[in-house]
């Protein structure tokens, strides 16, 4: 079976799990994503274990020995936990308890690897009992039986060398129905192609080892996963924090899928602004690479007093005033952006999604942030993206690039807003970039190419003189329109037409005078 066929089968299994959830009255509930996510993850770990056992070096090693000495990339399970063995027990009394016990025992066997931490220090296991999601006790057994029949139906033992592009496609399909509320408070999912553009520009392909990658508003991890796979998952360690329980659960699955379980201890569920968890002593931890698509606007008025203490010297540009009315319109991205700048190492680089209005802002916090980036020669460039790139927000977005290793004063300003093709998707209209368009964006940015109405290279001084505007439209050259006619010939035609109009006017005047008897 080809990779594409396996991919289609995996999507088919996800669809069956969602249909099962709906049939049991769990569709569109807060628990549905947990059930689907946990069952999918259990299936992945089960089949990955069987794949690793089948391909073990020592063929004389039995299953129990193999599991005991397996590395962190292989889940520890006993034979009774395997899906095929659970399938054989589905007709036993209280089968749901057998399934629940399997989840709990697998949690215990893998707690040092798969547990993640909240800001309060609580450890959250990978799996919950399936039965906790059922309010109707009579349906507990039905859920367990339906679930095990779906999981046992599919075999994915030979897909585990598919790589990031493969599993990112699976992951996007897995969560597509559960990220529709993400635009207001947090981005649970950023389009993969946007993550790839950011990663391709941010990392210049110079071999590195043991570098740190951070996202303070990680969502489901698209951006950090794209960058980590660009750098090499064995050459970097991921750090993340996100206030959302849902997105942190998805991020954990994403890391497991993509061979980054060594970074799971660095995944924190909590409020980055009020209580950043990644620190070196009493100072913020500094990172080599930061990528982020933070929420743009939200009501964080209840955090302002806490943030005014500025414990970690993050908010050099200040904090917004609390409006009397529309508190949901507070620009929280400005606060995240200052946190990101403060979290960069001396040679750190960052790529951050911001509202395009940030580029032209002529006052307030945005201008102060741009002033620091320009005056300290940290701004590498900005790309204005097409509208509706992200399904969850209609706001025009740009991608900001910060580089503390810059040695010249050149800044790339790119207007890619006219690229892309608009398509109709389930969640509304979306703009999709072709492969050629994505390649053009990356190539022009990295090579400093200039094109009329698309890109410009400007100096720090030019930006200062313009009041720190980094709106590409102010700097890119306009295309000269090519005339499809001979200018001298056209002037002759216009001159002749004018003479004819003058003669006609004279005749008309003479007739009017004759009528009036003048």
Beta pairing partners, 400: 352, 382
> Which residues 6+ apart lie within 8 Å of 291 measured at CB?
195, 198, 199, 202, 213, 214, 215, 223, 224, 226, 227, 350, 351, 352
SS3 content of the chain, % helix, strand, coil (to 5): 45, 15, 40
Reported as a single tens digit per residue, the pLDDT across 280-337 is: 999 999 999 999 999 999 999 999 999 999 999 999 999 988 988 889 999 999 999 9
Give pLDDT, residue 122: 87
Give pLDDT, residue 175: 77
CA–CA dist 25, 35 (Å, integer): 12
Reported as a single tens digit per residue, the pLDDT across 79-112 is: 999 999 999 999 998 999 999 999 999 999 999 9
Cβ(299)–Cβ(264) below 8 Å: no
Of 337, 362, 384, the closest CA to residue 468 belongs to 362
Using only C-alpha atoms, what is the Rg of the chain? Answer: 29
Phi-psi region of 205 (alpha: psi -120 to 50; beta: other; left: phi over 0): left
Determine how β-strand 421-425 pairs with β-strand 397-403: unpaired
Give pLDDT, residue 189: 55
Q: pLDDT 10s per residue in the chain (518 long)?
A: 676 787 788 889 999 999 999 999 888 777 888 899 899 999 989 999 999 999 999 999 999 999 999 998 899 999 999 999 999 999 998 999 999 999 999 999 999 999 888 878 888 899 999 888 887 777 899 999 999 999 999 988 767 666 666 677 777 787 777 765 444 434 445 778 899 999 999 998 888 899 999 999 998 888 999 999 999 999 999 999 999 888 888 888 888 888 889 999 999 999 999 999 999 999 999 999 999 999 999 999 999 999 999 999 999 999 988 988 889 999 999 999 999 999 999 999 999 999 999 999 999 999 999 999 999 999 999 999 998 887 556 678 999 999 999 999 999 999 999 999 988 866 567 888 999 999 999 999 999 999 999 999 999 999 999 999 999 999 998 876 655 667 777 788 777 777 777 877 777 777 777 777 66
b/e map of 2-28 (b: 16 or more CB within 10 Å)?
A: eeeebbebbeebbebbbebbeebebee
Give pLDDT, residue 184: 44
CA–CA dist 142, 24 (Å, integer): 8
Give pLDDT, residue 288: 98
Q: Is 468 exposed, middle or buried (0-12, 13-18, 19+ CB in 10 A)?
A: buried
- State both tokens at 252: 């954990």
Cβ(104)–Cβ(38) below 8 Å: no
CA–CA dist 353, 217 (Å, integer): 11
Give pLDDT, residue 191: 79
Packing angle, helices 164-175 and 32-54, rounded to 10: 150
Alpha helices in 71-191 (DSSP H): 83-88, 95-109, 111-114, 140-153, 164-175, 182-185
CA–CA dist 30, 240 (Å, integer): 23
Give pLDDT, residue 394: 67
Of 162, 230, 237, the closest CA to residue 198 belongs to 230
Chain-centroid distance of CA 327 in Å reads 25
């Amino acid at each position: 079976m080809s990779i594409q066929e396996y991919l289609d089968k995996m999507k088919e299994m996800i669809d069956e799990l969602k249909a099962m959830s709906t049939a049991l009255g769990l569709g569109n509930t807060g628990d549905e994503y947990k059930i689907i996510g946990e069952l999918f993850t259990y299936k992945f770990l089960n089949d990955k274990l069987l794949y690793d056992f089948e391909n073990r070096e020592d063929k004389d090693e039995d299953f129990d020995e193999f599991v005991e000495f397996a590395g962190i990339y292989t889940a520890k399970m006993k034979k009774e936990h395997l899906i095929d063995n659970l399938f054989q027990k589905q007709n036993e009394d209280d089968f749901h308890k057998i399934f629940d016990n399997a989840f709990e025992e697998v949690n215990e066997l893998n707690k040092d690897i798969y547990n993640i931490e909240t800001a309060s220090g609580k450890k959250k296991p990978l799996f919950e009992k399936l039965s906790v999601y059922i309010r109707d006790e009579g349906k507990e057994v039905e859920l367990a039986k339906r679930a095990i029949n779906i999981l046992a139906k599919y075999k994915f033992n030979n897909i585990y060398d598919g790589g990031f592009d493969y599993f990112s496609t699976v992951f996007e399909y897995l969560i597509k129905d559960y990220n529709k509320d993400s635009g207001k408070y947090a981005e649970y999912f950023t389009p993969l192609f946007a993550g790839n553009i950011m990663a391709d520009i941010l990392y210049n392909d110079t071999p590195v080892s043991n570098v740190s990658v951070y996202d303070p508003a990680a969502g489901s991890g698209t951006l950090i996963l794209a960058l980590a796979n660009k750098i090499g998952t064995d050459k970097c360690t991921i750090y993340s924090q996100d206030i959302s329980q849902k997105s942190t659960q998805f991020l954990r699955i994403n890391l497991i899928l993509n061979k980054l379980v060594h970074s799971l201890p660095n995944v924190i569920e909590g409020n980055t602004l009020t209580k950043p968890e990644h620190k070196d002593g009493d100072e913020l931890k500094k990172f080599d690479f930061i990528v982020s698509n933070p929420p743009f606007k939200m009501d964080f008025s209840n955090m302002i007093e806490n943030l005014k203490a500025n414990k970690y010297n993050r908010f050099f540009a200040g904090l917004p005033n609390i409006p009397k009315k529309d508190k949901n319109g507070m620009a929280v991205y400005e606060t995240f952006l200052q946190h990101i700048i403060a979290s960069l190492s001396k040679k750190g680089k960052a790529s951050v999604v911001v509202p395009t209005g940030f580029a032209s802002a002529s006052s307030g916090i945005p201008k102060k942030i741009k002033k620091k980036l320009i005056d300290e020669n940290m701004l590498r460039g900005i790309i204005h993206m097409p509208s509706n790139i992200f399904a969850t927000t209609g706001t025009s977005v740009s991608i900001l690039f910060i580089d503390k290793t810059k040695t010249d004063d050149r800044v790339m300003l790119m207007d890619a807003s006219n690229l892309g093709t608009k398509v109709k998707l389930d969640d509304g209209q979306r703009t999709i970039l072709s492969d050629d368009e994505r390649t053009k964006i990356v190539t022009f940015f990295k090579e400093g190419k200039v094109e009329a109405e698309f890109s410009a290279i400007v100096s720090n001084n030019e930006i200062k003189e313009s009041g720190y505007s980094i709106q590409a439209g102010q700097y890119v050259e306009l295309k000269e329109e090519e005339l499809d006619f001979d200018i001298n010939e056209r002037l002759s035609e216009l001159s002749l037409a004018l003479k004819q109009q003058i003669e006609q006017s004279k005749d008309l005047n003479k007739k009017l005078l004759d009528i009036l008897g003048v």
